[in-house]
Amino acid sequence: MLIVRRLILVLSVLALSSGYGSAGAFDDLYTGPSRGAVLPVPVPSAVAEDYRAGASGHYLQLSGLDLTQVPAAPADGSAQDKADMKTLFDWQARRTGAQCAQARAELSHSYEVFFGRITPFVDPQPAAVTQFFRNTAKDSVAAHTYLKDAYQRPRPFVRDARLKPCTMRVLGFSYPSGHAAMARLFALILGDLVPARRAEFMARAEEVALNRVISGVHHPSDVEAGKIMGVVLYRELLKKPAFKSEMQALRAHLR
């Protein structure tokens, strides 16, 4: 099993690095964690020993990354957990076909999927813009896959068969939401590049996150943790000169 998990991790990283499909495919894969990030609770020992320090995104190394601001996953049966499930059933009862169609259109997580319709950059999108957001996506993917395996929270529909997602039944663990994290991270970047449209970008990130709950593939607390992680990652990225320089260079491509 360990060999299989490591093989999946290697294939996943290769796919992301080459731009195959999009960074979004990674929310639907099972990948192992990387030891070294600082969590609000200890990583299960069997998982921590599987992968040692060394994994990274593009600008960030997971080793030493402080993720303590991201709350721990709610315990099964806790008040928060019960509230999560109630919200999911409420949405299942009232969601519309249009909402489900939008959620299906956002199965992959990438800049183009999240912000292509409202992008502030010139058309056609310059290669530098595309590459920057792909590189940043690698950091988001590395962090959220680490936390998913740290907490190993099952998807809502795995926990209760009465929940019927209106998108494909994505694989992998649930906490936190990679979609919510990446959308929030991208929105923060865009908001700093174009302050006059900050509210618009943040609203779009909120929409992406909510669609994961509406469609039934994430608990509400999954997406809230993802939003927090997006903020944490952005603060860490702003400490990296390469990231700041490449981000500022994107101003030349604004409309």
Instruction: For residue range 156-183, list pLDDT tens digits in order.
Output: 999 999 999 999 999 999 999 999 999 9
Spatial separation of the C-alpha atoms in residues 12 and 29, rounded to whole Å: 8
Q: CA Rg, the chain, in Å? A: 17
Select from 3.40.50.1370, 1.20.144.10, 2.120.10.30, 3.40.50.300 the CATH code of 2-253. 1.20.144.10
Confidence band (pLDDT; 50, 70, 90) for 184?
very high
Q: What pLDDT score does 192 carry?
A: 98
Q: What pLDDT score does 238 carry?
A: 98
On the 0-12 / 13-18 / 19+ scale of CB atoms within 10 A, 77 is exposed
Task: Tell which phi-psi region holds residue 19, choosing left (phi > 0), alpha (psi between -120 and 50) or beta.
Answer: left
Instruction: Please count the other Cβ atoms lying within 10 Å of the Cβ belonging to residue 162.
Output: 11
Query: Where is average pLDDT lowest: 143-147, 214-218, 250-254?
Result: 143-147
pLDDT digits 0-9 by tens, 22-50: 333 333 322 333 334 555 544 443 443 34
pTM of the predicted structure, to 2 decimals: 0.82
Spans of all domains in the chain? 2-253
Spatial separation of the C-alpha atoms in residues 217 and 209, rounded to whole Å: 11
DSSP-derived 3-state class of residue 42:
coil
Q: Determine what percent of the chain is predicted with pLDDT higher than 70.
A: 78
Residue with token string 């997580």: 109
